[in-house]
Structure 1
Amino acid sequence: MSAFRTRFAPSPTGYLHLGHAFSALTAFDAAREADGACLLRIEDIDTNRCKPDFEAAALEDLDWLGCNWPEPVRRQSEHFPEYHAALETLAARGLVYRCFKTRREIAEDIARAPHHPGEGPEGVIYPGPPEPMSADEEAERLERGEAFSWRLSINACRDHLGAAFDRLCFVETGEGPEGETGEVRARPETLGDVILGRKDVGTSYHLACTHDDALQGVTHVIRGVDLYFATHLHRLLQELMGWPVPIYRHHRLMLDESGKRFAKRDRSLSLRALREAGETPETLRERVGL
């Protein structure tokens, strides 16, 4: 195994665009410069929105860009039992709990409680219930077939890890949104009790991503700064599961003329559209500043 191992991990919910191209080229270039490897991983746990046609298009686009990756490609939709086993490990330690609240109910809680944490770096912060649900009530709600999500309990994690919780850190070789670099103290509590799985989908991006980075021997995670705060949570999951801690590099995002991030709905800036308009891999590199 190479000493340097990174990955590019798109979700096939649409066609790749300029932002994806910049991220992919940044990761593949870094691996090439380090005489290492860049894996391709298809993060398709959202089986409703992810489509085979988008995956096929992504492979074609990456090949056109000149990116090469080892085979086989890991597709997360083929590995739900592995993620479920990781979730069960956390459940057995009392670190996750079933939450039956809907987004609407959580929004109503915020409206009623003036001291609720409110919004965080990744959306609404759910600090957990004031009191644990009784076993009888949980059993009754499960019997009724109510939908639920599995949430990671930050308080339980803090109790489980003790002083180690406050020593969690990671190395940032890029730059966070506030210029964070070097050794960074991880603060997973700023995200609250995040969802790690649902009744209908047994995992989340956070759990599947960190599981696969460990499984695949990823030594360096290179991704957009929009995922910087997720890294704080990922560092906690790595500590809980005994997974190795990669070195992180968060890069700038590609923005349009109005300062907004490129999105998959911007069809005119998809790599397919740009190729049809005469773009070449060389001119695209210039366009994204590489």
Structure 2
Amino acid sequence: MKRTRFAPSPTGLLHLGNVYSALTCEQWAKEHDTQLLLRVEDIDFTRCKPTHTEQLQHDLAWLGIHFHAVSFQQQRLALYEKVLQQLIDMEVLYPCFCTRKQVDAALHAQSESKLNTLHQRLDVYPGTCKLLAMQQRQQKMLEQTYAWRLNAAVVSEMIGQYCVWYDTQGVAQNFKVLDIGDVIIGRKDIRFSYHLCVVVDDAIQGISHVIRGEDLRSSTPVHRVLQLLLGYDSPAYLHHKLITNQEGTRLAKSKASPTLKSLRDSGVTAKQIRQSLGF
């Protein structure tokens, strides 16, 4: 059975960029006779609000989008914990004690170092905590909060230097495992990263096709690597264009983009919204 999903995060009200993504998922599901699921990605308890969750469901219903089922990440915390521990036991993760400020400083120092080569990425974590001796690492774990980072070098040895994911046209997209860097899989604050949760969710929900924005294309290699480590099947991916304002800036909640609620309250109809976005 083919399945896709629309997976908004209730950190604010839906704007036209979110709506475009939802309508793209709806259109693709209809054209390919695919079930469309709504997954509310409310794992970030520091930013997600129940009122936003209620509003996004109301907005989507007002638009006339119908979902086969609705789920919430908050209902799967125990499962995420189990999978995170599985990766820790596999020794493909290591604890990271660095603050964002320390990481930025390390990356800045790395960019100025004469040791850099054309083959070295300057935008990924430089592995500061990976170099800690085991005794020092264990002591720090007792004293400080920490995140869990993927050890890309270890993973590359386990699954191979090069991997591939496929788009919805069946075209292979190759990438080098080391290029994903030592990304965070377990966060300090909310415990689980977006990468971990979305991979688990897609697997347990049987998602066969992922339709999402171009801004998430760079996350796809990370997700493919986690799928391989965990023995999950990989969906096919389609990364759609992003909606921008007149200045060419991507619409985003952080940029106070006009919300669907405000447009509706001003008298705009669902049909007008759909037509303005090309649906």
Normalised by the length of structure 1, the TM-score is 0.88
Q: Does 1:117 align with 2:115?
A: no
Q: What is the CA distance between 1:15 and its match in structure 2?
A: 0.3
Question: 1:276 is matched with which residue: 265, 268, 276?
Answer: 265
CA RMSD of aligned residues (A): 1.8
Q: What is the CA distance between 1:156 and its match in structure 2?
A: 0.7
SS at structure 1 position matched to 2:253:
coil
| Cα offsets for 1:38-60 (capped at 9, x unmatched) | 10001111101100000000000
Matching residue of 1:256: 245
Q: What is the CA distance between 1:129 and its match in structure 2?
A: 3.5
Matching residue of 1:59: 57
Question: 2:27 is matched with which residue: 29, 33, 38?
Answer: 29
State how far apart, in whole Å, the 1-side matches of 2:149 and 2:130 are. Answer: 15
Where do 5+ consecutive residues of structure 2 fail to align? none
State how far apart, in whole Å, the 1-side matches of 2:217 and 2:71 are. Answer: 23
Q: State the one-letter code of the partner of 2:109.
A: R
Asked whether the 8 Å contact 1:186–1:235 carries over to 2, the reply is no
Question: 2:166 is matched with which residue: 157, 162, 171?
Answer: 171
Matching residue of 1:79: 76
State how far apart, in whole Å, the 2-side matches of 1:229 and 1:253 are. Answer: 14
SS at structure 2 position matched to 1:40:
strand
State how far apart, in whole Å, the 2-side matches of 1:200 and 1:111 are. Answer: 25
Normalised by the length of structure 2, the TM-score is 0.92
| Cα offsets for 1:5-39 (capped at 9, x unmatched) | 00000000000000111100110121122222110
Matching residue of 2:156: 158
Which runs of at least 4 in structure 1 moved beyond 3 Å after TM superposition? 129-132, 265-268
Change (3 A) 1:268 1:84: closer
Change (3 A) 1:26 1:133: same
Matches within 5 A, 1:1-290: 3-71=1-69, 73-113=70-110, 114=113, 115=116, 117-119=121-123, 125-129=124-128, 132-144=131-143, 146-162=144-160, 165-166=161-162, 168-173=163-168, 182-265=171-254, 269-290=258-279
Q: State the one-letter code of the partner of 1:6.
A: T
Identity %, equivalent residues: 38
Q: State the one-letter code of the partner of 2:168.
A: T
SS at structure 1 position matched to 2:248:
coil
SS at structure 1 position matched to 2:232:
coil
Matching residue of 1:122: none
Q: What is the CA distance between 1:266 and its match in structure 2?
A: 5.4
SS at structure 1 position matched to 2:94:
strand
Q: State the one-letter code of the partner of 1:107.
A: D
Q: State the one-letter code of the partner of 1:74.
A: S
SS at structure 2 position matched to 1:185:
strand
SS at structure 2 position matched to 1:248:
strand
State how far apart, in whole Å, the 2-side matches of 1:273 and 1:130 are. Answer: 46
Q: State the one-letter code of the partner of 2:8.
A: P
State how far apart, in whole Å, the 2-side matches of 1:241 and 1:131 are. Answer: 22
Q: State the one-letter code of the partner of 2:191.
A: G
Asked whether the 8 Å contact 1:267–1:273 carries over to 2, the reply is no
Count the aligned residue pairs: 272
